[in-house]
Structure 1
């Protein structure tokens, strides 16, 4: 009967076949990922070819929303503007405006 010391002392330098499937399985996974990448690239290129060269201008809808969204002063100019924050100085006005 083998003792624990004999099992630990046994010289096992890759003579066993326990990990014999790791190489072929890794190759299979690499080939599967490469095929999936190629198919995804082909699909993306086909979708990009179907897109028009130029999209229609949406300037009309932007102009229409600007005219509809007019700003109305709720105080009708009767009250004074009271701001809790100080007004920006000249340097900040140039940077922001």
Structure 2
């Protein structure tokens, strides 16, 4: 009489399951340094942007007096160019 036994075994596990080695999820000191440099850069950029935005006028429309003077100067130049041609 022959007796055969079947035993269940777990599948073999690869050495590096999906790129998750021993150091998976750990950051290095270089990564921390890069993150800090980015944070400092963002702070300086925000300060610079705030300074520039404070200088922006509320409206880009020319004042009424200057607009009329600019129109007169344009008309005067057109008349001068037309007369000299």
Q: TM-score, normalised by structure 2?
A: 0.46
Higher helix share: 2
Q: TM-score, normalised by structure 1?
A: 0.41
